Amino acid sequence: MSSNLNETIKRVLADARSDESDVRSATAPHQADFPYDREEEAQVTRREFCNFLGLTSAALFVGAAGFAGKAAFDARCTPQFPAAKIEGAKTLAPGSSLNFRYPSTNDSAILIRTLDGELHAFGQKCTHLSCPVYFERAHQRLECPCHDGAFDAKTGNVLYGPPPRPLDPIKLEVRADEEVWAVGREAGSGEGLI
């Protein structure tokens, strides 16, 4: 049985050599027109590899530095939001809340008149997973129903739960005729607004 195996191996090796010689003899007349050196084709020198590695690393560094620079520039620029009148705020009873849209029609916000009559406004998205918060009258705080988080109704600070930072406060102005206007929005705890 081993003699059959040896015969088979010899036949396969002979076929492989004949295939290579057949290809070389078939391409020989065209070698002058299309020079091709198979041995040098697969070789990559250390210098070529280091050049490729250096250029790729430099390109990645420049790209990352560009993104970091843009993020730093954007963090220094504070966005300016237009003033908007909050309809119904004038008649808001102490210990109650009112939902409104600010700074755009896609951004929900909540206005609270505390029991002592002070007005406070915040972005309505919970800072944990952006669930909408609501004003709980019985406890006089903002609560997130998704993951049981709670915020102080006067400061927006986290009272308990998973939210990592305070709610985004909205600046208010009381103008002529006791009308309430939203005039700006910040990110909670001094971070840049996203």
Rounded average pLDDT per 10-residue block, the chain, 194 residues: 71 60 70 68 82 96 94 80 88 93 90 93 92 93 92 93 93 88 78 42
- Lay out the sheet containing 149-152: strands in order across: 134-136, 141-144, 149-152, 158-160
Full-model pTM: 0.59
Report the candidate in 119, 168, 124 with the shortest Cα–Cα distance to residue 142. Answer: 124
pLDDT of residue 105: 87
Report the candidate in 88, 71, 94, 79 with the shortest Cα–Cα distance to residue 171. Answer: 79
Beta strands in the chain (DSSP E): 84-85, 96-101, 108-113, 119-123, 134-136, 141-144, 149-152, 158-160, 169-174, 180-185
Report the candidate in 108, 155, 159, 157 with the shortest Cα–Cα distance to residue 134. Answer: 108
- The helix or strand, by DSSP H or E, that contains position 5, with its residue range, turns out to be helix 2-27
Cβ atoms 56, 50 nearer than 8 A:
no
* Length of the chain in terms of residues written: 194
pLDDT of residue 38: 63
pLDDT of residue 194: 38
